[in-house]
Structure 1
Amino acid sequence: MKFLVLLGVVCLTAVNAAPTSDQGWIVIPGVDGKRNLALLDVPDFKTDLTDPYTQITFHLYTRSNRNTPVQIFVNNLNGAPFDAAKANKFVIHGFTSNAFDGWAISFKDMFLDQEDCNVICVDWSEPAQGPLYNEAKANVKPVGEYVAQLHDFLASNGHSVGNSHCIGHSLGAHVCGFSGKASSTGTLGRVTGMDPALPLFSYDDPSTRLASTDASYVDVIHTCAGWLGFERPLGHADFYPNGGSFVQPGCGEDLTGSCSHARSHDFFLESITSNQFVAKECDTWDNFLSGACAGASEAIMGNPSNTNSRGTFYLATSGSSPFALG
């Protein structure tokens, strides 16, 4: 029956900006351009994560194997060239995506160009595949808890959990958060949430979503706020490029919000080689535009963000790469 409902919904030609009070569903865009369904009136799906060992895979890249990953496992490094003295960069995709999508591979390449580190791309594409967003959302917590087991295993091999940075997009941002919540060997060094997914998550209960307590530093980039992503602050430092909501510059009409949602990882990718995403602390976008916050403190959005940054920050970007305006 749910697939018949889905078929009817995906035949719609457009999506309104927000669900009405009597609308029990919204359409969630997938990375493949297909439309998927979130059922708002039945949020409590049970996880179908039955075998994490096969449904969640970890792919390690280093400068010595930057083009051919070695799959590592909880409790088995599988002969990989993992160096416990180096920083770990976890890259975690979201709904309908996978660890080998173009943006994730670009992250890996940029990180390895800039730093001699361990890059671990987490693939949870089967639990994240849909077509019902509810099912993928139900898998977020157990997936994050399984990633935490890898944090702890790597710690048993001499790595400091405080030297790990988890970067997640959409649902993947919450996976990063749950991995920090569940780690038993210390506090995760940093989590970056790239437009953390909003539908079916509760702001009022931080234990059910990405929160500032999940790592020593949690920074969040909001680009489709109030629709596909959270609008309210979730981290120590929350960045709102172009006000944080869709439509982001250069995204056209962006009826589903998919372009604006993806801007968060576009901005972060550029920031790996740029410190020009300079943001001002401010309370609203309108006040930022009016110059009311001109004398406020500044922070850098993205990879070079100062881990001492605290507050909400606004900045403008261009509509195409390079996005940073300095």
Structure 2
Amino acid sequence: MRAQFTMQKSTAQMIIAVCLICQSLAVEVRDKATHPLNIDSVQKHNIKLLSEQLNRGWRAFCDAPVDEGVMSLFQGINPSDARLHVMTITNQSVELPIKSISQLKDFDINPERKTLIYVNAFHTADSYFSVQEHLTLLQNSRRDLNVIVVDFAKDVSQLYYAVRHHLSVDGYFVYKLVRALKDAGIGVQDITLAGHSVGANIAALGAQLFAKENKQLVGQLLAIDPATMCRTTDIWVKQSVASRVVVLHGEGDVFGVRVPLGHIDIYPNGIGYFPRRKLQPGCESKICSHMYPFVLFMEALIEGVMIPATKCESWAKFRQGDCNFQNTINIGLIYPSNAKGLYFCMTQPNPPFTYMEHGLRYKARRPEKLSEKNQIKY
């Protein structure tokens, strides 16, 4: 009798267990029907996660727990997805795949002009300070230059792969571009490689690869707040990669490199020189301060605005007015041959950002925000 009771009890437990499993499966099926897990929703979560982590700095961005398997199914993450933007003789900007480097000679590339290769690898959402919009304006307004834009980061997932996995390949593409221009008759000393953030390190790597293979330095590297990257070994901005290396600092904490890296290092408003000075004028976030020197550079190149800086031993000396005011430079593409060392200046929170010659003297400023129209948004 006891054995029969035990068997019945066991059977009842099994039935209850099966019912619970069935109920659980039914809930799971219902949930999947209501919230289907497909690659589009996973990728949407990836992009949301990357956008959130980017605001916290490179370490958080690089360690974001994204589903790379799903990301790899989408266009815009591979180095071969990068685009070239060049001008035609009819003043039209044309977008080409990166593999079309050999076709550059068929476009408006004039050996009589100086050449600017701008390497973009920092994604921004559309705003007043959109990187892509500024670069388009740059190409259209500076017809005295051969302006070529290499775009490695049209979206935040492409930026992620550029930082995490593709830096060496992106640098190799820049090297091939410089070599193609040399073959088209462009003087290497007349080439300026420029880039902001991750783009500064890609440009520097391309310059180094060219120097190694050709035993010749490009004329100038202009690094705008070069990124601290996921690994310090990926910071390629250094004096040896070009005849002149100019670094325009901006944030100097979680995004940009603080220490001097070039023949010339410019610190607008002293931000990045000391850790305790955190934000550029008008900025309420570190990522805004990281973007700020890019805007200064664009104002100088597109609008032709003079943004002067003076040589000083330190930010403390600049605040005291103890500087060599005979040794001044203007942010842009052209620098005196004798310019070397640290340079400081004061700038404004809204365009025009320059104080002109008044920016060579320190003055305490009240906290100001960028106007609503000119907010930097991410």
Same fold (TM over 0.5): yes
Q: Contact 1:165 / 1:189 at 8 angstroms: preserved in 2?
A: yes
* Aligned equivalents of 1:11, 1:133: Cα separation in 2: 8
* Aligned equivalents of 1:310, 1:248: Cα separation in 2: 24
Residue ranges of structure 2 left out of the alignment (5+ in a row): 1-41, 65-71, 273-277, 357-378
Q: Contact 1:91 / 1:104 at 8 angstroms: preserved in 2?
A: no
| Structure 2 residue matching 1:322: 3-state secondary structure | coil
- 1:56 aligns to 2:85 (yes or no): no
Deviations 1:78-103 (A, max 9, x none): 842333333221111123359xx943
Deviations 1:35-92 (A, max 9, x none): 972339xxxxxxx99974x323222125633344566723333842333333221111
- Which structure 2 residues correspond to residues 30-109 of structure 1 after superposition, within 5 A? 37-39=61-63, 52=79, 54-62=80-88, 64-69=90-95, 73-77=100-104, 79-96=106-123, 102-109=130-137
* Aligned equivalents of 1:60, 1:135: Cα separation in 2: 22
**Residue 225 of structure 1: how far off its partner (Å):** 0.9
Larger Rg: 2
Runs of 4+ in 1 over 6 A off after TM superposition: 48-51
TM-score of the aligned structures, taking structure 1 as reference length: 0.75
What amino acid is the match of 1:218? V
> What residue in structure 1 maps to residue 219 of structure 2?
189
Give me the identity figure in percent. 24
Give 1:248's match in structure 2, choosing from 258, 272, 280.
280
> What residue in structure 2 maps to residue 121 of structure 1?
149
Distance 1:134 1:312, change over 3 A: farther
Q: Contact 1:95 / 1:133 at 8 angstroms: preserved in 2?
A: no
Equivalenced residues, count: 288
* Aligned equivalents of 1:11, 1:71: Cα separation in 2: 25
Give 2:351's match in structure 1, choosing from 313, 321, 325.
321
* Aligned equivalents of 2:176, 2:158: Cα separation in 1: 28
> What residue in structure 1 maps to residue 177 of structure 2?
150
What amino acid is the match of 2:243? S
Q: Contact 1:191 / 1:215 at 8 angstroms: preserved in 2?
A: yes
* Aligned equivalents of 1:174, 1:149: Cα separation in 2: 16
**Residue 111 of structure 1: how far off its partner (Å):** 5.2
* Aligned equivalents of 1:166, 1:11: Cα separation in 2: 28
What amino acid is the match of 1:249? P
Give 1:284's match in structure 2, choosing from 299, 306, 314.
314
**Residue 223 of structure 1: how far off its partner (Å):** 0.8
**Residue 169 of structure 1: how far off its partner (Å):** 0.7
> What residue in structure 2 maps to residue 16 of structure 1?
none
TM-score of the aligned structures, taking structure 2 as reference length: 0.66
* Aligned equivalents of 1:39, 1:134: Cα separation in 2: 12
- Which structure 2 residues correspond to residues 135-284 of structure 1 after superposition, within 5 A? 136-183=163-210, 184-185=213-214, 186-202=216-232, 208-245=235-272, 246-251=278-283, 253-254=284-285, 257-272=286-301, 273-274=303-304, 276-284=306-314
Residue ranges of structure 1 left out of the alignment (5+ in a row): 14-26, 41-47
Deviations 1:143-181 (A, max 9, x none): 012111111122112122221111101000011101110
Say which is worse superposed, 161-170 or 184-193, in terms of deviation: 184-193
| Structure 2 residue matching 1:130: 3-state secondary structure | helix
